[in-house]
Each structure stands twice: as structure tokens, then as C-alpha cells.
């Protein structure tokens, strides 16, 4: 059996040089995919916020049903009002949890992209600290924005009929 010889150093350097564009392309594709995720998450957030607003309206209707109970109301009417309120509150809690999860996912995606950018900047040993800071400052804005969104409250528009009531 012939002994296998290691390839000369020149061949290894050429192989690495050929892999460099492949690594750069992979990094670009990863950043592109990460860039698309916040848009999808934003759409999901909007839909979930709309669900929360609908659930708030359902809670309002259920509360009106409870408030409409009179001393002459039946036990069945009171039970139905209680069930409607419980159902509306459950739906509202689920929608709020979904929104929190989506906002957290958005923040985590932005943070992951920023960490990749930090690693990329840190790998350039010839770059000055000032140049690195300028690059990272611009890349930190989406992370800061995502963090703000994570802590923001949901704002719902009041239906015209509810706003007109005194």
C-alpha cells in the first residue's frame, strides 16, 4: 500500500482562495434571508394586532351583555353572559401572547444579524476603531428599533359607534 502524501502548502492556499467567494456568497445569502424575515414578521404582527383589536371589541360586547343583566334576567342569561366574557378574555390573552412571541422573534432576528455584522467587522484587523464604530452604529439601528417595538403597547382604533357614545 502506498503511503498518502499531504498536498503542498500552495495547493491548500489555492483551495482556500477558491472557497473565499463561496463563503462570501453564503454570508450574503444569510443576511438576505435575515433581512426578509422582519417584513414577514411585521405582517404577522399587523394581523395579530388586528386580532387583538377584534378581541377587545368582543370583550366590550360581552361586558355590555353582562351590564344589560337586570334583576328579572334568568340564570341562563347570566350564565350565557359569563361564558361570552370568559371566551372573549381567553381569545384576547391568546392573541396577546402571539404578539409578544412575534415581537420577540423579530428582535432575535435583528440581534442575530447584528452579531454577524459585529463578527464581520471584528475580522477585519486592518480597520480602525472609528471606521468599525461607524459601520456598527448604522447596523445597530434595526436592533434598537426592534427592541422599542418589543416594549411598545398595541394601539387600536376605536370603532365609530363606540367613540360616539358618551
Domain ranges of the chain: 10-154
Q: In which band, very low, low, confident or very high, does the pLDDT at 34 lie, cut at 50, 70 and 90?
A: very low
Residue 74 has pLDDT above 50, yes or no: yes
DSSP designation for 127 = S
Give the HSE-up count for residue 89: Cα atoms under 13 Å, Cβ half-sphere: 8
Q: What's the CATH number for 10-154?
A: 1.10.287
Distance (Å, whole) CA 109 – CA 151 = 16
Q: What is the predicted pLDDT for the residue at 147? A: 76
Residue 143 has pLDDT above 60, yes or no: yes
- Per cent of the chain over pLDDT 90 is 14
Look at 156 and 149; give whichever has higher pLDDT. Answer: 149
The pTM (predicted TM-score) of the whole model is 0.54
Amino acid at each position: 500500500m502506498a503511503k498518502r502524501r499531504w498536498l503542498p502548502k500552495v495547493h491548500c492556499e489555492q483551495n482556500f482562495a477558491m472557497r473565499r467567494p463561496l463563503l462570501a456568497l453564503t454570508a450574503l445569502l444569510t443576511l438576505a434571508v435575515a433581512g426578509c424575515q422582519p417584513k414577514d414578521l411585521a405582517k404577522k404582527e399587523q394581523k395579530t394586532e388586528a386580532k387583538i383589536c377584534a378581541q377587545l371589541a368582543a370583550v366590550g360586547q360581552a361586558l355590555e351583555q353582562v351590564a344589560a343583566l337586570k334583576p328579572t334576567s334568568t340564570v341562563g342569561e347570566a350564565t350565557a353572559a359569563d361564558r361570552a366574557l370568559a371566551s372573549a378574555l381567553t381569545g384576547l390573552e391568546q392573541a396577546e401572547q402571539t404578539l409578544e412571541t412575534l415581537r420577540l422573534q423579530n428582535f432575535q432576528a435583528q440581534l442575530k444579524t447584528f452579531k454577524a455584522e459585529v463578527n464581520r467587522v471584528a475580522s477585519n484587523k486592518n480597520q480602525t476603531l472609528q471606521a468599525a464604530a461607524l459601520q456598527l452604529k448604522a447596523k445597530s439601528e434595526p436592533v434598537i428599533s426592534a427592541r422599542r417595538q418589543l416594549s411598545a403597547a398595541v394601539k387600536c382604533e376605536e370603532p365609530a359607534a363606540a367613540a360616539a357614545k358618551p
